[in-house]
């Protein structure tokens, strides 16, 4: 099977944006075309990862609008939705389109416009991905995060501070990301004294609601050098589901979708956790960074917190995690988040991460839908 | 590139169903697993084609719920949306998942639950796929159909009756389809005297609003015989866009997405229009059957109506079109329609179409999103 390369990538300013979804997608799409020096009408396929433009803005058919805006007609287009992991799913779909031979040049654009909604309105849309009984009983994704965090801390006798340190680290990394929603240093005290959201988790344990977009351009590796010297290669990509009803899981501190998608991605890439030099994890809640570290084999079960306490996941540590600032500081525009994760790893692989650059030959991104209901893991390597 | 086979297919009763989207999808999924004699946990990938479960029912994350209901975990899952052609897009996505080597067994389940909404509410959701300015000015998809029909009839000096004959034919075919929403013979007079919807088109020129689901099971052709003798092969599949703004098209009677996706599908299959023995076309409006016949090369521009008048597209004609009854009689549950088209062609290719069976070695399905905004064309052949 021929390998697939990423020859272009972009992301727009994440935060509160005065632009509707169509404009956000077009901005990322145009920047990505520019990054690779290609035109819209060079595209064979154009995929859009987006969870809910219909619910958030009353707009569907957005991929067609984007094909118009990028001058991509008659490129084939469709929307990929896997709720909060739509960006990872879109990356997998774009990879499939090239790997299958259906397309020689595929662009994926992920985006979401959310901040015009109140938190309650946005929660209504996001919570529609959970089992209806869960939401009816008042259990939202943050509730699951709180319960899981309490369980983890007690089970492994971990200090509350270790979770807060994830937030502190990711906010520090975000200072160097010009696209991040919050470029703001946060100290331990601020996290620990912020308002309680879902005990023991507090405001600064959560990512914000965000508008934004990001894009990737994929082609067969054999022709990548014709476009650019700055390309990376997708060596592993896979996705997996866990139970739709969260309480049906055997162990709340193990995310089955993370474990299984990671296992498959490692196998495809011929890599082990030890080979990964940099990772973007889905830190929608601080506790999720622990669970992904353990699920992906970066730490033994119950030991992610000690790695964080020891500074191993900081930018200068053994395995830098979320050099981009993560969802925590960068923001979480649902359909864009997974794409922006790959953007960061691609920049790291091509040596173009600027002040965020670390030494890395192999990178991994993990995008989590729902509370781990569906997860995609992607491994990128230097060309 | 290894070819991809269809080893199982199902569709549920189309019509007004007392079941939510999750149940509809599970019913088609289970029937399709049974058809191929496999279990849910044999699946590698599980795709759902659906336009708007969030807008219609306030439910997202439906693919995860379906993975649970079919016992398919940890199969990877995602939703494919391309508005009214989501089923064709889902077929293309499922094909890519197998052709890329990502999956050895992929199920696609398409479905939509719509009839609990009023026509006005459903129109609000469907019209959200058009350019906002079009809808704000009162132009819906039926309006486009009316204007295009008038243009076609005048341009080619075609009789109004020729359009009505599409409806009469498809309703007659639908009599033999136990899953059709309307198993009801309709005569020319009834069509021509039904209430005007978008002049010159009347009620019986339009498909209904429908609940329903359908499913397909795909694997590499090399292993298909291990599952069943009754399999067909996807020899061509492609998709293409036309302008998002309908009035920007050069010629309203030419659907660019139909022409381009057809051209690519023929090329991939090494087939010509003359090779096609049976076809399912997207007759959301009677005029669309003419435009697809001409766009796909079954008739010269301006001559589809003469072929219909001559009875060439009837079940016993030279090229039977919509032996299933089409969207017109069978119904149009958005995300399911394109899947049900392939279901019909698969049944024709495997000799299992019962009273609808025609003599056919090669079949084609054309699924149209919006007013031709995005189109997928699939060619199936006997194994």
What angle is formed at CA A139 by the lines to CA A135 and CA A141, rounded to 5 degrees?
A: 100
CB nearest to B73's CB, from A73, A74, A243: A243
pLDDT digit string (tens) for chain A, length 383 residues: 789 999 999 999 999 999 999 999 999 999 999 999 999 999 999 999 999 999 999 999 999 999 999 999 999 999 999 999 999 999 999 999 999 999 999 999 999 999 999 999 999 999 999 988 888 888 999 999 999 999 999 999 999 999 999 999 999 999 999 999 999 999 999 999 999 999 999 999 999 999 999 999 999 999 999 999 999 999 999 999 999 999 899 999 999 999 999 999 999 999 999 999 999 999 999 999 999 999 999 999 999 999 999 999 999 999 999 999 999 999 999 999 999 999 999 999 999 999 999 999 999 999 999 999 999 999 999 99
Q: What angle do CA B98, B272, A94 make, to 5 degrees?
A: 30
CB contact under 8 A, B52 and A54: yes
- Residues A94, A200, single domain; the answer is no
Furthest-apart CA atoms within chain B: distance in Å: 58
Which residue does chain A place closest to B41, by CA atoms?
Answer: A241
- Distance between B137 CA and the closest CA of chain A, angstroms: 16
Q: Which helix (H) or strand (E) segment is B364 a member of?
A: strand B362-369
Domain extent, residue A57, equals: 4-117+210-233
| pTM of this structure | 0.98
Q: Quick one: B214 and B263 in the same domain?
A: no
Question: What is d(CA A2, CA B97) in angstroms, rounded to the nearest whole number?
Answer: 15
- The predicted pLDDT at position B136 comes to 84
- 3-state secondary structure (DSSP) of residue A164: helix
Please give the pLDDT value at position A89: 98
Residue A122 lies in a domain: no
Task: Inspect the interface and report whether the beta carbons of A78 and B75 lie closer than 8 Å.
Answer: no
Q: CB-CB: which of A74, A125, A260 is closest to B242?
A: A74
Min distance B282 CA to chain A CA atoms (Å): 18
Structure confidence at residue B133 (pLDDT): 84
Please check whether residues A353 and A248 belong to one and the same domain: yes
Q: Which of A366, A370, A377 is nearest to A51 (CA)?
A: A370
Instruction: Give the ipTM.
Output: 0.97
Q: Which of A4, A48, A54 best probes binding to B when mutated, by most B CB atoms within 10 angstroms?
A: A54
Which residue, among B22, B67, B25, B69, has the nearest Cα to B43 in the 3D structure? B67
- A89, two tokens: 């799913």
Please state whether beta strands A201-202 and A212-220 pair in parallel, antiparallel, or not at all (unpaired).
unpaired
- Does residue A123 form part of some domain? no
Please indicate whether, in this complex, the C-beta atoms of A129 and B64 are within 8 angstroms of each other: yes
What does the alpha-carbon distance between residue B37 and residue B35 come to, in Å, rounded to a whole number?
6
Q: Are residues A97 and A135 in the same domain?
A: no
CATH code for the domain in which residue B31 is found: 3.40.47.10
Same-domain pairing of B278 and B203: yes
Same domain, B159 and B105: no
Residues B314, B302 within the same domain: yes
* CB A219 within 8 Å of CB A105: yes
Nearest CA to B294 out of B283, B286, B302 is that of B302
**Claim to verify: residue B227 and residue B311 sit in the same structural domain:** no
Q: Tell me if A190 sits within 8 A of A165, measured CB to CB.
A: no
CB A74 within 8 A of CB A14: no
Per CB-CB distance under 8 Å, the chain A contacts of B68 are 243-245
Chain A, nearest residue to B93 by Cα? A93
Q: Which residues pair with B47 in a beta bridge?
A: B78, B108
At B275, list the tokens. Answer: 């090779």
Are B66 and B131 in a shared domain? no
Q: What is the pLDDT of residue B135?
A: 85
Closest CA to A56 of A20, A86, A27: A20
Spatial distance between the Cα atoms of A134 and A127, rounded to a whole number of angstroms:
9
- Rounded to 5°, angle at Cα A369 from A336 and A285: 85
Output the pLDDT for position B137: 87
Cβ–Cβ under 8 Å, residues B48 and B62 = yes
Q: Which of A193, A218, A233 is the last residue of a domain?
A: A233
What is the structure's pLDDT at B167?
A: 98
Report the residue from A58, A73, A132 with minimal CB separation from B241.
Answer: A73
Query: How many domains would you assign to chain A?
Result: 2
Q: What is the pLDDT of residues A201-232, one digit of tens each?
A: 999 999 999 999 999 999 999 999 999 999 99
Test mutation, B65, B244, B264, chain A, max A CBs within 10 A:
B244
Closest residue to A243, CB basis, from B1, B68, B76 = B68
Together in a domain, A287 and A372: yes
In this structure, the answer to whether residues B155 and B225 fall within a common structural domain is no
Q: What is the pLDDT of residue B144?
A: 95
Residue with tokens 């506790």: A287
Q: Are residues B155 and B172 in the same domain?
A: yes
pLDDT tens string A227-253: 999 999 999 999 999 999 998 999 999
Scanning chain A, the segments in alpha helix (DSSP H) are 21-36, 53-57, 62-69, 86-99, 119-127, 132-136, 141-155, 160-174, 188-192, 221-227, 256-269, 286-295, 304-309, 326-330, 334-349
Pairs across A and B, CB distance < 8 A: 193
The token duo for B314 is 């009837």
Q: For each successive 10 residues of chain B (383 residues), what is the average pLDDT?
A: 94 97 98 98 98 95 97 98 98 98 98 96 92 86 96 98 98 98 97 97 97 98 97 98 93 96 98 98 98 98 98 98 98 98 98 98 98 97 97
């Amino acid at each position: 099977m021929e390998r697939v390369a990423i020859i272009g990538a972009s992301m727009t300013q994440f935060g509160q944006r005065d632009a509707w979804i169509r404009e956000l997608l077009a901005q990322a799409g145009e920047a990505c075309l520019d990054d690779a020096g290609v035109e819209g009408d060079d595209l064979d396929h154009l995929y859009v990862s987006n969870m809910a433009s219909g619910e958030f803005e009353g707009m569907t058919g957005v991929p067609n609008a984007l094909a118009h805006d990028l001058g991509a007609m008659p490129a084939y287009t469709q929307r990929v939705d896997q709720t909060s992991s739509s960006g990872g799913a879109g990356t997998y779909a774009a990879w499939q389109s090239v790997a299958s031979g259906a397309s020689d040049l595929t662009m994926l654009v992920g985006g979401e416009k959310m901040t015009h909604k109140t938190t309650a309105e946005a929660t209504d849309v996001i919570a529609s991905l959970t089992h209806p009984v869960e939401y009816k009983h008042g259990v939202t994704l943050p509730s699951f995060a709180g319960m899981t965090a309490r369980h983890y801390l007690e089970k492994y006798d971990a200090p509350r501070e270790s979770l807060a340190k994830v937030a502190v680290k990711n906010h520090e990394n975000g200072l160097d990301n010009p696209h991040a929603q919050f470029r703001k240093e946060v100290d331990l005290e601020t996290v620990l004294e912020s308002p309680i959201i879902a005990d023991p988790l507090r405001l600064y344990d959560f990512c914000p609601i965000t508008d934004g977009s990001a894009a990737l351009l994929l082609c067969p590796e054999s022709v990548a050098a014709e476009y650019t010297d700055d390309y990376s290669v997708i060596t592993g990509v896979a996705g997996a589901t866990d139970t739709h009803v969260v309480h049906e899981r055997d162990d709340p501190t193990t995310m089955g979708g993370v474990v299984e998608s990671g296992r498959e991605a490692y196998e495809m890439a011929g890599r082990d956790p030890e080979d990964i030099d940099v990772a973007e994890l889905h830190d929608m809640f601080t506790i999720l960074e622990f669970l992904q570290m353990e699920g992906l084999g970066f730490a033994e079960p119950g030991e992610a917190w000690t790695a964080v306490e020891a500074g191993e996941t900081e930018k200068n540590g053994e395995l830098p995690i979320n050099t981009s600032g993560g969802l925590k500081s960068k923001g979480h525009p649902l359909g864009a988040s997974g794409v922006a994760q790959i953007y960061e790893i691609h920049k790291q692989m091509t040596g173009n991460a600027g002040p965020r650059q670390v030494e890395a030959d192999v990178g991994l991104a993990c995008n989590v839908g729902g509370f781990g209901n569906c997860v995609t893991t992607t491994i990128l390597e230097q060309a």
